[in-house]
Copies of this chain bind each other. A is one copy, B any other.
Amino acid sequence: MDPLIMKILVLVAGVLALGFVGYLTVTILRESEGNEKMREISHAIRQGAMAFLRREFITLAVFTVVIFIILAVFIEPKPLVGIAYVCGTVTSALAGWLGMNIATKANARTAQAAIGSWAKGLKIAFSSGAVMGFCVVGLGLLGLSIVAFIWNDSHVWLGFAFGASSVALFLRAGGGIFTKSADVGADLVGKVEKGIPEDDPRNPAVIADNVGDNVGDVAGMGSDLYESYVSAIAASMVLGVLTLGMVKGMYLPLLLSAAGIVASIIGALSVRPKDIVGANFEKQVVRAHATMNTGVYVSNILMIIASFFIIKGFVGELGLFWALISGLIAGFLIGQATEYFTSAQHGPAKKIAKSAESGAAVTIIEGMATGMMSTVIPVILVVIATVLAYIFGGLMGIAIAAMGMLINLGMLLAMDCYGPIADNSAGIAQMAGLGDEVRERCEALDAVGNTTAALGKGFAIASAALASLAWLATYFKVANIEIASLTNVGVIAGVLIGGMLTFIFSALAMRGVGDGSFAIVKEVRRQFREIKGLMEGEAKPDYVACVDIATKMALKSMILPGILVLVVPLILGFTLGPESVAGLLVGALVTGFIMAVMMANAGGAWDNAKKYIESGALGGKGSDAHKAAVIGDTVGDPFKDTAGPSLNILIKLVGKVAVIFGPVFIVLITL
Residues of A at the B interface (CB closer than 8 Å) are 188, 355, 358-362, 364-366, 368-370, 372-373, 375-376, 379-380, 382-383, 386-387, 390, 398, 469, 472, 476, 481-487, 489-493, 495-500, 502-504, 506-507, 510-511, 513-514, 576, 582-583, 586-587, 590-591, 593-594, 598, 630-631, 634-635, 638
Q: Is the CB of B496 within 8 A of A372?
A: no
Q: How many copies does the complex hold?
A: 2
Query: Could you tell me if A594 and B591 are in contact, using CB atoms closer than 8 angstroms?
Result: yes
Measured between alpha carbons, how far is A586 from B493 in the docked complex, in Å?
11
Question: What are 21 A-to-B residue pairs whose CB atoms are below 8 Å?
Answer: A359-B631, A362-B514, A365-B638, A368-B507, A369-B506, A372-B503, A372-B507, A372-B510, A373-B504, A375-B503, A379-B497, A387-B489, A398-B489, A476-B487, A484-B485, A487-B582, A496-B593, A499-B593, A499-B594, A500-B594, A590-B591
Given the complex of chains A and B, what is the CA–CA distance between A387 and B499 in angstroms? 17
- CA–CA, A476 and B511, complex, Å: 41
Whether the Cβ atoms of A369 and B635 lie closer than 8 Å is no
**What is the chain B residue whose CB lies nearest that of A465?**
B496
Inter-chain contacts of A500 with B (CB < 8 A): 375-376, 379-380, 594
Bound CA–CA A361/B517 (angstroms): 14
Report the minimum CB–CB distance from A482 to chain B (whole Å).
7
Which of B390, B472, B598, B630 sits near A503, CB closer than 8 Å? B598
How far apart are A109's CB and chain B's nearest CB, in angstroms?
35
In the complex, chain B residues whose CB is within 8 Å of the CB of A492: 386, 469, 472, 586
Distance in Å: Cβ of A452 to nearest Cβ of chain B: 26
Task: Please indicate the chain B residues that have their CB under 8 angstroms from the CB of A376 in the complex.
Answer: 500, 503-504
- Contact yes or no, A379 B496, CB < 8 A: yes
Q: State in angstroms the CA–CA spacing of A485 and B472 once bound together.
A: 13
A355: B residues at CB distance < 8 A: 514
Question: Knowing A360-B631, A366-B514, A497-B379 touch, does A486 contact B489 (C-beta < 8 A)?
Answer: no
Closest to A505 in B: B372
**Which secondary structure dominates where chain A touches chain B?**
helix
Given contacts A369-B506, A485-B486, A486-B582, 18 further A-B contacts (CB under 8 A): A359-B631, A361-B635, A362-B514, A364-B635, A365-B513, A369-B507, A372-B507, A376-B503, A379-B496, A383-B493, A383-B496, A387-B576, A469-B492, A486-B486, A486-B586, A500-B594, A587-B590, A631-B631
Are A507 and B373 in touch, CB under 8 angstroms? yes
By a CB distance below 8 angstroms, the chain B residues around A631 are: 359-361, 364, 631
Which residues of the partner chain B approach A490 to less than 8 Å between Cβ atoms? 387
- 5 tightest CB-CB pairs across the interface, nearest first? A361-B634, A372-B507, A390-B489, A499-B590, A379-B500
B383 and A590 within 8 A (CB): no
CA distance A359 to B514 in the complex (A): 13
- A486/B487 in contact, CB under 8 A: no
Contacting residues, chain B, for A484 (C-beta < 8 A): 485-487
- Which chain B residue has the least Cβ–Cβ distance from A482? B487
- A279 CA / B497 CA spacing, docked (Å): 46
Neighbouring B residues of A496 by C-beta, 8 Å = 379, 382-383, 590, 593-594
**CA distance in complex: A608, B491 (Å):** 37
Choose from B364, B504, B583 the contact partner of A486 (Cβ within 8 Å).
B583
Q: Are B387 and A493 in contact (CB under 8 A)?
A: yes
- Give CA–CA (A590, B503) in the complex, Å: 12
Is the beta-carbon distance between B379 and A499 smaller than 8 angstroms? yes
Q: Which residues of B contact A510 (CB under 8 A)?
A: 365, 368-369, 372
